[in-house]
Chains A and B, each alone.
Chain A
Amino acid sequence: MSEEKKTPIPSSSPKPQNLFILSFKMVFSTWVYITFAATTAVTFWIVSSIFDQLLFFYPILIFYLPDDAIVGFILANITAILLGIVVSMNIYVFRHSKMRIKTASFFSGSSLSVLSSTCASCSSLGFFLISTLGAAGVTASAFLSNYQTPLRLLSIALLMWALYSVSNRLIKTCVIKRHE
């Protein structure tokens, strides 16, 4: 009885900052997961910059940031970093645990980010939507274009939730392993 009192049992729901620190230390102590995170973030950043028409490969390689794109660019950078971390953590969970990855918030966050990066009306997708769906396509592409910033904020919120979720799973898995 006295021994049990001396060894504190880790809480199943630690404070969020402790949760993130513990899970970060666990996953990113290995170069493999840092590489996964960096690759995912850079890939997303490139795709997002192409959709936002900030990055061009032809006729010359050029990146430029006009005034109207600054807010979107900042949000896209936050999304890229979060996406890299979440993907890497999910891979860690997949490889080290028998627990299933809860993919809903991860995929909804990432796909929403990509979708909102696209000014649908100005792209081939938007043109396809409009020419195929007519008035409904106009509404859909206008929605994507007009609510781009809120959609990006929503995608960041979803990725934050995904990050919390995967961190929670990592710590819970450790708790389970310690007491097994």
Chain B
Amino acid sequence: MLTVQGNFSNQSYAQTSQMEGEDKMEHKEGSNVQNGFSPAGPHVNVTQPVEKITNNLSLSSLREEGSPVLGETSAPITIVQFGDFQCRFCGRFARDTVSPVNQTYIQTGKVDLVFKHFVTHGPDSMTAAMASQCANEQGKFWSFYKILYGNQGEENSGWASANNLKKFASQIYGLDSQKFNSCLNSQKYKSFVENDTAFAIASGYQGTPTFIIEKSDGSNPEVLLGAYPFPSFQAIIDKKISGS
């Protein structure tokens, strides 16, 4: 089982998700961290030195700042995904690759998967990102992640409107809809999502999905841009685990 620290809400993934075999996950309650960035979206003004931002991808920092984490605290390797809920390649990764990565590496305690927001697809992406953080607040991020990517529609066609997001959230077992709706309406996590996006831009990432595969202390990072299949992740992770 997973260990849960601090204010993390622990849950069995099997309780809330149909993703078979993925019963180990860990959530940390999201926090609204101010990193000194101005409002994000596509036009982001970075007001903090890049060096300060890019040194902040260690697992402990990511947990601390409230990014959703799937996996155990002791995992030696971390995959950080910069994603957008409207990006179809992010959807492909979520549907095809997360499951084998989870079964092979996350459940065995070798890897953590962390999600960071990189809002590049317009206004509905921002709403979806904020909604996912509201789900994360209740320890349901990965259930919400699966539902959104499983129901992905055409970009900015309304499938990720606030009303639809509330409907998706209401399908999640154990999620308090009233609390979720209130969180989404208040745009509580707007600056959190903007900070994530500003971080991605300042780090020079070019699009979604971007993956950083690194040691948990943030060292030895390897960046992948695109929906790489499982064997590609396997090759990099195995190499990092073997220490070569």
Complex contact B156–A142 (CB within 8 A): yes
Complex contact A124–B207 (CB within 8 A): yes
Which chain A residues border B232 with CB–CB below 8 Å?
Answer: 56, 58-60, 62
Chain B residue nearest in CB terms to A131: B42
Map CB proximity to A onto B60-90 as digits: 1 under 8 Å, 0 otherwise: 0000000000000000000000000011111
Complex contact B120–A134 (CB within 8 A): no
Which chain A residues border B225 with CB–CB below 8 Å?
Answer: 124
Chain B CB count within 10 A is highest, among A64, A119, A121, A131, for A121
Q: A53's contact among B157, B227, B239, by CB below 8 Å, is which?
A: B227
Q: Is A115 among interface residues, defined by CB-CB distance under 8 A?
A: no
Complex contact B91–A68 (CB within 8 A): yes
Tell me whether A127 and B228 are in contact in the complex, defined as CB-CB below 8 angstroms, given that A60-B235, A121-B87 are known contacts.
Answer: no
User: How far, in whole Å, are A122 and B96 apart by their CA atoms in the complex?
Assistant: 17
Q: A127's contact among B88, B92, B206, B229, by CB below 8 Å, is which?
A: B206
Tell me whether A122 and B88 are in contact in the complex, defined as CB-CB below 8 angstroms, given that A134-B43, A146-B154 are known contacts.
Answer: yes
Complex contact A127–B91 (CB within 8 A): no
The smallest beta-carbon distance between B122 and chain A, in angstroms, is: 4
B window 141-159: CB within 8 A of A:
154-157
Q: Is B121 among interface residues, defined by CB-CB distance under 8 A?
A: yes
Map CB proximity to B onto A109-141 as digits: 1 under 8 Å, 0 otherwise: 000000000010111101100110010011001
User: How far, in whole Å, are A66 and B91 apart by their CA atoms in the complex?
Assistant: 11
Which chain A residues border B239 with CB–CB below 8 Å?
Answer: 59
Complex contact B92–A56 (CB within 8 A): no
Q: Is A48 among interface residues, defined by CB-CB distance under 8 A?
A: no
Main secondary structure of the interface of A (DSSP, over half): helix
Q: Is B179 among interface residues, defined by CB-CB distance under 8 A?
A: no
The smallest beta-carbon distance between B31 and chain A, in angstroms, is: 27
The size of the chain A interface, using a CB distance under 8 A, is 26
Q: Is A145 among interface residues, defined by CB-CB distance under 8 A?
A: yes
Which chain B residues border A123 with CB–CB below 8 Å?
Answer: 206-207
Complex contact B42–A53 (CB within 8 A): no
The smallest beta-carbon distance between B160 and chain A, in angstroms, is: 12
Chain B CB count within 10 A is highest, among A64, A122, A127, A145, for A122
Which chain B residues border A146 with CB–CB below 8 Å?
Answer: 154-155, 157
Extra contacts besides A66-B96, A122-B209 (19): CB < 8 Å: A53-B227, A58-B232, A60-B235, A64-B229, A68-B92, A121-B155, A122-B87, A122-B88, A122-B90, A123-B206, A126-B207, A127-B206, A127-B207, A130-B42, A134-B43, A138-B42, A138-B122, A141-B155, A142-B121
